[in-house]
């Protein structure tokens, strides 16, 4: 038990040092990289590590005879959550969202410290002590608070009232509802029933199971299956189309969506909204192939209003590519990221 | 996860120790062997194992082949639309090295150690300013070593990394050379040395890469441009650490293989090289206090603030950049990408950022726009299209597959020269648009959501247009042009300085249906366009920014000072109430 707890304490201290380093810019914030696509899981895991670390730390401290009062535990944990959200998570979360998380965690901390009467008493004891000011230190503290509080609150309100030029927050729907059908190069495609004509098995039939067996493997790097190289000259069918799709991708799309399809191409840094990251499980992995077909064909200008069509630089690809080329690029995108297109049923 | 960090930290600490311990012993012995100062003889690395090579092939054909090609000749499907063109591995020519000019770079499949494995670091950190991304976080360390094992043994064809007969390694001992503090004296000496060593002949008098920019070719005959020292985040060898002076020192000591950039190791001392590196590093853009700009780790470019604040001045707006008001005005980095939405798409935009400042008074608002452009371009004779024309057939986009000769890299510096130009696009009647709706970024949406475009061209013209869609020719706004004023339009040492004054707008003198009215304290959607005449830019072939906001800072209202004081007094009263209550309660209890 003790060994376990000291291990926990070690994790806690190391984690706190790292976070502290990031806050003061001593440790670069990308020291422990948030791995693309796994970020939410990684964050949960990290926070769990921290919680375990804190539990260990508080156990160690009380074992060493200097227990941290419940009051400071609560405040410290809340401060930790706020700092973690602000300094660890990248790209940064807007303040309004952080405020929401902050409120929720404040309520949670409150519930924790007031779980039973005894705990609650322990929690509010330090506040009462200062109010009553029975000892010299508390008396001093009380006067410090008396002076500091009005200054701080006045200062905050001054800060809040000072005219500022912060970027207005605009929330955009990334995957708006698709239309029932879309007309590309003179032909109408019903999104519910259309299929990628290049997702075929060796017999030439539409076969998602076959193609799913030949996409790149999941895991770091997402490499191709050793026996399914699209650059093999003997290829016919699916893998040949993947290669053709890749050629089109690297002649047209990589400028924004990037060499690893992660939305970090050459021009990406200049654009807002940033180009979609196909390796993120929240993009093409969540969508049907025909949805992608609609989005690719019509581009930013074809988005409904909630998708901010005025700001997106996504080209309406029907102006640059044929229908066949668009299907092949989509085929390549699923192959390269190792995701299955979502089906309608 | 935690382990790898502590390990990293350990290595860094050890390396730092090493610097201190070895620095004196390091190069005195090296120079004794007749090597340039700061270099030491190194050994060729052993050949990677067959398994590593085989595993690397799989990585290569998943990730790299698309640009670098099946035989590593830099001729993959993506190559013809890229400039710089992807590396041709066959000759074994690599740019960023710790080895002497002309030598193969450091690569050891068993040693992924920073400073001792050039190719590994290139793959890890990418080559900023080119299409080569950083592969860290995508490929594991092992995978990066594997793919390099494959490239160095199978795709480098003219040379052999393990051939003791033909290859040598003379390694810059960068870790042992203590950087010289960047004192004013060191930078001053560096500034003199870049003239003496003729750096400025290519890199330009101010280091904006505007020197002998036109006749430079790389080993494969493609045009190549000297680095712009003011954009250190675009240095190929910046290793995601652009303000690190060591990177400049390394490049200057070893040269850039395959390009006209030589190594200066033989004709400079280490001390001189640090001076030059300190000087070059000091030129990179910094904030008003002289601190490095914060770099966005996702893009490796400066972080973007989308609000362009405009400060108020009393009376006339100064036209001199040195004026205090302009010096105090916040300067915003506006990132520019190629216009890749509609034909003709601009795959290579040579203007990748502009710097914007703004001031206003009761009548006008002035934008001061500065951007680096290696060439001043003014079209010869009259352009064959009207200024309002948007669809220009003379300007074509690069075909996807042309082979080397027809590639975009081969075209560079051979375009018909048009005018350099800059344009500011703002939304018309933005107040009536339900937020966040704006007219489309590219010349507006339609007649219902038009935009106000003010365009300056290098021939000295300043025009005002109304835009109603990406493929609609502009409409002229005749009586607006008289109310605008070009306060400055000057090209100097690789940089344009353009100052445009326009009315803030009022219903009496301007047309509410086609002119943007600028109001204090409001966010006015603003987009910037830039054309580089020597890149053949005209019409839609241009660089574009995202939506920014012009924000005219309001004067501070009196309430800002009054209310906080009132609130503070309120808090004091509240405190008194709480304390009295507590005291009474306790009294009640004890009594």
pLDDT at B569 over 80: yes
| One domain, residues A109 and A219 | no
Q: What average pLDDT does range B528-552 have in this prediction?
A: 96
- In this predicted structure, which of A290-294, B152-156, B510-514 has the lowest mean pLDDT? B510-514
CB contact under 8 A, A222 and B435: no
A 314-343 near B (Cβ less than 8 A): 314-316, 319-320, 336
Domain span at A33:
2-113
Q: Is A33 part of any domain?
A: yes
Of A98, A113, A128, the last residue of a domain is A113
pLDDT at B209 over 90: yes
Residue B324, CA distances (Å) to A165, B25, B230, B285, B318 in order = 22, 51, 23, 19, 9
CATH code 2.60.40.1190 for B308-381+419-552 = yes
Residues B481, B388 contacting (CB under 8 angstroms) = no
| One domain, residues A98 and A234 | no
pLDDT at B18 over 50: no
Is B30 strand, coil or helix?
A: helix
Residue-wise pLDDT tens digits, B398-440: 999 999 999 999 999 899 999 999 999 999 999 998 888 999 9
pLDDT at B13 over 80: no
| One domain, residues A219 and A332 | yes
pLDDT at A32: 63
Residues B500, B461 contacting (CB under 8 angstroms) = no
Give B-chain residues touching A318 at CB under 8 angstroms: none
Phi, psi of B488 (to 5 degrees): -160, 145
| One domain, residues A188 and A333 | yes
Distance between CA atoms of residues B52 and B147, nearest Å: 8
B 141-160 near A (Cβ less than 8 A): 143
Domain made up of B2-176: CATH architecture: Orthogonal Bundle (1.10)
Give A-chain residues touching B2 at CB under 8 angstroms: 11, 14-15
- In this predicted structure, which of A224-233, B15-24, B173-182, B572-581 has the lowest mean pLDDT? B15-24
Q: What average pLDDT does range B519-533 have in this prediction?
A: 95
Q: Is A98 on the interface with B (CB under 8 A)?
A: no
Is B368 strand, coil or helix?
A: strand
Q: Is B571 on the interface with A (CB under 8 A)?
A: yes
Intervals of chain A under pLDDT 50: none
* Residue A133 to chain B, least CA–CA distance (Å): 10
Q: What angle do CA A82, A86, A92 make, to 5 degrees?
A: 145
Band of residue B340 on the pLDDT scale cut at 50, 70, 90: very high
Of A113, A136, A162, the last residue of a domain is A113
Nearest to A271 among B66, B337, B342 (CB): B337
Q: Is A220 on the interface with B (CB under 8 A)?
A: yes
Band of residue B533 on the pLDDT scale cut at 50, 70, 90: very high
Band of residue B327 on the pLDDT scale cut at 50, 70, 90: very high
CB contact under 8 A, A315 and B341: yes
User: Which chain A residue is nearest to residue B470, measuring alpha carbons?
Assistant: A301
| One domain, residues A44 and A192 | no
Q: Is A313 part of any domain?
A: yes
Q: Is A28 part of any domain?
A: yes
CATH code of the domain in which A196 resides: 1.10.760.10
| One domain, residues A54 and A197 | no
* Pairing, β B485-492 against β B523-531: unpaired
CB contact under 8 A, A131 and B563: no
Domain made up of B184-283: CATH architecture: Orthogonal Bundle (1.10)
pLDDT at B11 over 60: no
Nearest to A32 among B1, B305, B337 (CB): B1
Distance between CA atoms of residues B263 and B220, nearest Å: 19
Number of domains present in the structure of chain A = 2
- In this predicted structure, which of A8-12, B172-176, B303-307 has the lowest mean pLDDT? A8-12
pLDDT at B27: 42
Q: Is A247 part of any domain?
A: yes
| One domain, residues A189 and A101 | no
Nearest to A270 among B335, B440, B554 (CB): B335
| One domain, residues A223 and A87 | no
User: Which chain B residue is nearest to residue A308, measuring alpha carbons?
Assistant: B437
Nearest to A157 among B58, B547, B567 (CB): B567
pLDDT at B493: 95
Q: Is A132 part of any domain?
A: no
Extract the runs of DSSP E, i.e. beta strands, from B373-430.
421-427
pLDDT at B317: 96
Q: Is A217 on the interface with B (CB under 8 A)?
A: no
- In this predicted structure, which of A212-216, B78-82, B577-581 has the lowest mean pLDDT? B577-581
CB contact under 8 A, A168 and B569: no
Q: Is A235 part of any domain?
A: yes
Of A87, A113, A139, the last residue of a domain is A113
As to burial, measured by CB atoms within 10 angstroms (0-12 exposed, 13-18 middle, 19+ buried), residue B501 is buried
Q: What average pLDDT does range B480-502 have in this prediction?
A: 95
User: Which chain B residue is nearest to residue A33, measuring alpha carbons?
Assistant: B137
Angle, helices A136-161 vs B559-590, to 10°: value is 150
* Residue A84 to chain B, least CA–CA distance (Å): 17
Across chain B, what does the average pLDDT equal?
A: 91
CB contact under 8 A, A153 and B436: no
Q: Is B11 on the interface with A (CB under 8 A)?
A: no
pLDDT at B585: 81
* Best mutation target, A9, A162, A165, to test chain B (most B CBs within 10 A): A165
């Amino acid at each position: 038990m003790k060994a376990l707890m000291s291990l926990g304490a070690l994790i806690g201290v190391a984690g706190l040092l790292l976070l502290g380093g990031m806050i003061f810019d001593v440790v670069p914030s990308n020291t422990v990289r948030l791995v693309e696509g796994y970020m939410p899981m990684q964050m949960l895991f990290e926070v769990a590590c921290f919680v375990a670390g804190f539990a260990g730390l508080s156990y160690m401290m009380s074992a060493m005879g200097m227990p941290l009062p419940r009051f400071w535990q609560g405040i410290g944990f809340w401060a930790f959550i706020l700092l973690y959200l602000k300094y660890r998570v990248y790209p940064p979360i807007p303040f309004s969202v952080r405020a929401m998380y902050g409120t929720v965690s404040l309520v949670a901390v409150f519930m924790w410290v007031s779980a039973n009467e005894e705990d609650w008493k322990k929690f509010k004891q330090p506040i009462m002590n200062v109010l009553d000011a029975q000892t010299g230190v508390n008396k001093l503290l009380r006067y410090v608070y008396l002076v500091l509080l009005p200054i701080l609150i006045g200062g905050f309100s001054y800060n809040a009232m000072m005219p500022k030029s912060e970027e207005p927050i605009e929330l955009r729907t990334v995957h708006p509802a698709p239309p029932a059908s879309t007309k590309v190069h003179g032909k109408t495609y019903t999104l519910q029933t259309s299929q990628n004509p290049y997702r075929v098995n060796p017999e030439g039939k539409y076969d998602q199971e076959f193609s799913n067996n030949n996409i790149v493997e999941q895991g770091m790097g997402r490499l191709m299956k050793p026996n399914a190289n699209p650059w093999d000259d003997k290829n016919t069918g699916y893998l040949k189309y993947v290669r053709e799709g890749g050629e089109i991708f690297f002649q047209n799309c990589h400028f924004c969506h990037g060499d690893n399809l992660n939305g970090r191409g050459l021009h990406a840094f200049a654009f807002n909204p940033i180009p979609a990251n196909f390796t993120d499980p929240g993009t093409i992995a969540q969508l049907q192939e025909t949805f992608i077909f609609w989005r690719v064909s019509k581009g930013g200008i074809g988005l409904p209003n909630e998708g901010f069509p005025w700001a997106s630089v996504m080209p309406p690809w029907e102006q640059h590519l044929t229908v066949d080329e668009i299907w092949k690029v989509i085929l390549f995108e699923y192959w390269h990221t190792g995701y299955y297109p979502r089906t309608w049923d | 996860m935690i382990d790898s960090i502590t390990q990293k930290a350990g290595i860094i600490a050890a390396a730092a120790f090493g610097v201190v311990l070895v620095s004196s012993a390091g190069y005195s012995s090296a120079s004794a062997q007749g090597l340039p100062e700061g270099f030491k003889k190194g050994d060729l690395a052993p050949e990677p194992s067959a398994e590593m090579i085989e595993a690397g092939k799989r990585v290569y054909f998943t990730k790299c082949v698309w640009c670098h090609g099946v035989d590593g000749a830099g001729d993959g499907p993506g190559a013809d639309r890229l400039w710089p063109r992807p590396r041709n591995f066959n000759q074994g020519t690599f740019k960023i090295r710790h080895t002497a000019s002309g030598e193969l770079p450091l690569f050891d499949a068993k040693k992924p150690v920073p400073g001792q494995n050039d190719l590994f670091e290139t793959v890890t950190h990418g080559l900023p300013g080119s299409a080569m991304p950083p592969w860290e976080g995508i490929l594991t360390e092992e995978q990066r070593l594997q793919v390099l094992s494959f490239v160095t043994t199978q795709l480098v064809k003219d040379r052999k990394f393990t051939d003791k007969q033909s290859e040598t390694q003379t390694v810059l001992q960068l870790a042992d050379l203590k950087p010289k503090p960047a004192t004013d004296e060191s930078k001053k000496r560096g500034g003199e040395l870049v003239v003496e060593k003729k750096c400025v002949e290519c890199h330009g008098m101010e280091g904006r890469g505007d020197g002998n920019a036109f006749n430079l070719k790389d080993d494969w005959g493609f045009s190549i441009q000297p680095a712009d020292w003011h954009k250190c985040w675009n240095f190929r060898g910046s290793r995601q650490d652009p303000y690190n002076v060591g990177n400049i020192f390394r490049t200057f000591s070893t040269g850039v293989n395959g390009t006209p950039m030589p190594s200066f190791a033989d004709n400079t001392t280490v001390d001189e090289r640090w001076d030059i590196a300190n000087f070059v590093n000091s030129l990179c853009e910094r904030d008003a206090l002289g601190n490095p700009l914060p770099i966005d780790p996702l893009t490796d470019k400066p972080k973007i603030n989308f609000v362009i604040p405009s400060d108020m001045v009393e009376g006339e707006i100064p036209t001199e950049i040195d004026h205090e008001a302009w010096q105090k005005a916040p300067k915003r980095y506006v990132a520019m990408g190629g216009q890749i939405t509609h034909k003709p798409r601009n795959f290579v935009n040579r203007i990748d950022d502009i710097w914007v400042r703004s001031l206003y008074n009761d009548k006008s608002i002035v934008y001061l726009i500065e951007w680096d452009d290696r060439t001043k371009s003014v079209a010869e004779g009259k352009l064959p299209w009207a200024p309002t024309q948007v669809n220009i057939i003379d300007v074509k986009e690069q075909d996807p597959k042309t082979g080397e000769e027809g590639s975009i890299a081969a075209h560079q510096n051979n375009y018909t020269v048009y005018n350099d130009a800059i344009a500011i696009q703002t939304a018309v009647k933005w107040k009536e648009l339900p937020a966040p709706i704006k007219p489309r970024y590219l010349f507006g949406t339609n007649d219902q959501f038009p935009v106000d475009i003010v365009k300056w061209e290098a021939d000295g013209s300043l025009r005002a247009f109304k835009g109603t869609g990406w493929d609609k020719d502009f409409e002229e706004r005749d009586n607006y042009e008289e109310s605008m004023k070009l306060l400055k339009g000057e090209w100097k040492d690789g940089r344009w300085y353009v100052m445009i004054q326009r009315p803030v707008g009022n219903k009496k003198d301007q047309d509410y249906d086609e002119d943007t009215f600028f109001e204090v304290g409001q966010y006015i959607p603003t987009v910037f366009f830039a054309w580089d005449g020597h890149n053949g830019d005209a019409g839609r072939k241009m660089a574009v920014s995202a939506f920014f906001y012009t924000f005219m800072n309001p004067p501070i209202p009196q309430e800002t000072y009054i209310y906080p004081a009132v609130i503070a007094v309120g808090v004091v009263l509240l405190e008194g109430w709480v304390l009295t209550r507590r005291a009474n309660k306790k009294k009640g209890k004890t009594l």
